Amino acid sequence: MLKPDAMDRSDEILNLIKDHGFKIAKMKMVSLDKGDILRLYKEHEGKPFLGFLVNYLTTSPCLAMELVADNAVSRWMEFVGPTDPERARVEVPGSLRALYGRDKGYNAVHGSNNEEDSKRELDIFFPSTQVGNLSAPHTSATLEGTLCIVKP
Ligand code: GTP
Ligand code: MG
């Protein structure tokens, strides 16, 4: 997810994401409310920076994406870089946070921690998404059904 502070450079960032071998399967601009953020960051319940996060992520829209690649979750985390952009600039200079983050709070992008979280989070942005279940039978059944309807 691109956080509000990354939105004015979203074109540039989307190109970098594609150049890194990720396919953007779904993309949606979202205006998050407090409830969405508490769901998204449920592992941080009770943390002192949760109030900051709610303010930060409700100020203006974010860009949510479903990214597809081999080992997408770990590759995305690596590309995102460490939470603190100052650290990212030293340790992973080509990472998104090194390039676009300001500080440990305003750090431009979000990534899921693991596959289970990625499924849970995708369901917040794209309800009823069927991760890894885009098989042909479902599609052809739908198409056949449609064809039947239009036949005389
Ligand atoms: P996400 O991909 O956004 O989940 O970041 P992360 O996994 O690298 O970090 P973490 O889940 O620990 O924290 C979630 C987000 O809360 C961070 O990305 C920051 O935006 C914010 N955050 C974390 N720690 C701090 C902090 O100490 N101070 C402030 N102001 N914000 C913080
Ligand atoms: Mg996190």
Q: For residue range 58-78, list pLDDT tens digits in order.
A: 999 999 999 999 999 999 999
The yes-or-no verdict on residue 135 having pLDDT over 60 is no
Which residue's C-alpha comes closest to atom 3 of ligand 1?
A: 110
101 lines ligand 1 (CB under 6 A): no
123 in ligand 1 pocket by Cβ < 6 Å? Answer: no
Ligand having the closest approach to the CA of 87 = 1
What ipTM describes this predicted complex?
0.98
User: 104 CB less than 6 Å from ligand 1?
Assistant: yes
> Residues 99, 80: contact at Cβ < 8 Å?
no
pTM over 0.95, yes/no: no
Residue 144 alpha carbon to ligand 2 centre in Å: 42
Domain that holds residue 68: 4-150
110 is known as an active-site residue: yes
**Is 145 a residue whose pLDDT tops 60?**
no
Closest by CA to 66, choosing from 6, 30, 113, 23, is 23
Ligand 1: nearest atom to the Cα of 83: 8
What is the best residue among 32, 83, 106 to mutate for testing ligand 1's pocket, by most ligand atoms within 8 Å of CB?
83
pLDDT at 131: 56
- Residue pair 117/127 in contact by the 8 Å Cβ criterion: no
Closest C-alpha among 5, 120, 96, 91 to residue 56: 5
pLDDT beyond 70 at 127:
yes
CATH number assigned to the domain comprising residue 95: 3.30.70.141
Q: Which is higher by pLDDT, 29 or 147?
A: 29
142 pLDDT band (50/70/90 cuts)? very low
Q: Is the CB of 62 under 6 A from ligand 1?
A: no
Reduce the DSSP state of residue 61 to 3 states and report it. Answer: coil
Mean pLDDT of 8-25: 98
More confident residue, 132 or 49: 49
Task: Give residue 128's pLDDT.
Answer: 80
Q: Is the pLDDT of residue 133 over 70?
A: no
**Total number of domains in the chain:** 1
Question: CA 131 to CA 67: how far, in whole Å?
Answer: 11
> Which ligand is located closest to the Cα atom of residue 2?
1
Question: What's the CA gap between 29 and 61, in Å, rounded?
Answer: 6
Q: Establish whether residue 4 lines the binding site of ligand 1, counting it when its CB lies within 6 angstroms of any ligand atom.
A: no
Ligand showing the shortest atom-to-Cα distance for residue 107: 1
Q: What is the pLDDT of residue 82?
A: 98
Mean pLDDT of 109-120: 97
